[in-house]
Structure 1
Amino acid sequence: MKDTAKHQGLRNQLVSILQQKGISDKSVLEAIQKIPRHLFLDSSFEDYAYQDKAFPIGAGQTISQPYTVAFQSQLLQVKKDDKILEIGTGSGYQTAVLYKLGAKVYTVERQNELFKKTNALFPKLGIRPKHLSFGDGYKGLPLHAPFDSIIVTAGAPFIPKPLMAQLKIGGRLVIPLGENVQIMTLLIRKNETQFEKHEFGEFRFVPLLEDKN
């Protein structure tokens, strides 16, 4: 689990690229600068870890490109001690960014292989999510609701109703919506029944799958 000066230098370069692409949230850039992304990837990808690209992580899933992680994190406007629900733990990289931002992270993964992997990895990196669970992201985590923010890290064909219900009033839900290409969508909960919707262009994600295990 080595993080060398070379890795840190590559992260500095990555942060510059993200700034050029329009990421302006200083705390998000700082989190990306600190987190050793190469440790969330298979060692064969280590040399490419700080390129702004997605890579396979097993179970038909990918680690999102750093720009996407930064973009979603910036949309959340994370404040210290925010209670955040993450749907799709995946490699754990996005979880680590939220944790570095000071959030209390509740994260759900439906691929058992990835769930076991991140469960073993987090303690080694000093990352302590509040709750890491194996289950169906479409259902959220009703027992731990409500949440200040919810982030979905896979392409969803629609916004799951349980996730909307588990969001606090004033809370933010960031979700990529669509089948083949997704539109990054932000919902802000105005009251019990009303949500304000904003759209932020096209992204590509692996699909959000319902629990098949």
Structure 2
Amino acid sequence: MRDPADTRLLTDSEKYRQRMVERQLIRRGITDPRVLDAMRTVPREAFVADYLARRAYDDCALPIELGQTISQPYIVALMAEAAEIKPGDRVLEIGTGSGYAAAVLGQLAAHVHTIERHALLAETARGRLAVLGHGNIEVRCGDGTQGWAEHAPFDAILAAASGLRIPEAWKLQLAIGGRLVMPRGGMRSVQKLIKLTRVSEGNFAEENLGSVMFVPLVGEHG
């Protein structure tokens, strides 16, 4: 395997990803080597419009279709690391968006099931993921607040939208020992990124990972 620190044979895109990992992730405390490798591997420019390709590795969110955004690389890495995804895990993602975070999760897990409420975004993400060869990711258009019961239980659930409470369906679909990572709060209040671990059938341990800002969770239980 090529040493990721050796940039002599890297393409421009790979160099930008390496720089992003070093400056935006490692310096901010992301340490999971599998997450760092996934972030080095997935080409973020493939998930934005052509006119934004040169900004693909900027330290910020970027606009995508329908007024939505592709998350800041650090946030994607932070959530993936917090979810503690193992190679054999089954993961549920709420809010496919561009498909970028799903692609990163697909590098970490055995199966990723991702739900997007906008049909255009779901179809666009499905096409991008297929072109890049992500055969372990299934995209569904629907109400993410209901989860995806037929594929439960999930070892990890990650949500890219903020709600005032955690939908009960997500808690029920989380495996014992599973981790749920989501922003909690309203649009006019401070949002906190939380990690919820299901320690037993009816018991959950919660951890606050810091302040964030996400779009609102929309759906029957949003």
TM-score of the pair, normalised by structure 1: 0.94
Q: Which runs of 5+ in 2 are unaligned?
A: 1-9
Q: Which runs of 4+ in 1 moved over 3 A?
A: none
What corresponds to 1:11 in structure 2? 17
What is the CA–CA distance in structure 2 between the aligned matches of 1:206 and 1:43, rounded to whole Å?
24
What corresponds to 2:203 in structure 1? 194
Per the TM alignment, residue 118 of structure 1 is displaced from its structure 2 partner at its CA by 0.9
Does the 8 Å CA contact 2:63/2:70 hold for their aligned counterparts?
yes
What is the CA–CA distance in structure 1 between the aligned matches of 2:103 and 2:213, rounded to whole Å?
21
Does the 8 Å CA contact 1:75/1:186 hold for their aligned counterparts?
yes
What corresponds to 2:100 in structure 1? 93
What corresponds to 1:123 in structure 2? 130
Does the 8 Å CA contact 1:78/1:103 hold for their aligned counterparts?
no
Aligned partner of 1:61: which letter?
Q
Per the TM alignment, residue 130 of structure 1 is displaced from its structure 2 partner at its CA by 4.3
What is the CA–CA distance in structure 1 between the aligned matches of 2:177 and 2:56, rounded to whole Å?
36
What corresponds to 2:79 in structure 1? 72
What corresponds to 1:182 in structure 2? 191
What corresponds to 1:204 in structure 2? 213
Tell me the SS of whatever aligns to 2:161. coil
Q: Which runs of 5+ in 1 are unaligned?
A: none
Q: Paired residue for 2:114, among 107, 111, 126?
A: 107
Q: Paired residue for 1:41, among 42, 48, 64?
A: 48
Aligned partner of 2:15: which letter?
G
What is the CA–CA distance in structure 2 between the aligned matches of 1:111 and 1:128, rounded to whole Å?
21
TM-score of the pair, normalised by structure 2: 0.91
What is the CA–CA distance in structure 2 between the aligned matches of 1:47 and 1:182, rounded to whole Å?
30
Cα deviation per residue 1:3-41 (whole Å; 9 max; x = unaligned)?
x81111111110101100111111101111111000000
What is the CA–CA distance in structure 1 between the aligned matches of 2:218 and 2:66, rounded to whole Å?
12
Aligned partner of 1:13: which letter?
R
Cα deviation per residue 1:96-139 (whole Å; 9 max; x = unaligned)?
00111133101100011101101211110001234321100110
Tell me the SS of whatever aligns to 1:59. helix
Aligned length, in residue pairs: 208
Does the 8 Å CA contact 1:35/1:96 hold for their aligned counterparts?
yes
What is the CA–CA distance in structure 1 between the aligned matches of 2:205 and 2:30, rounded to whole Å?
23
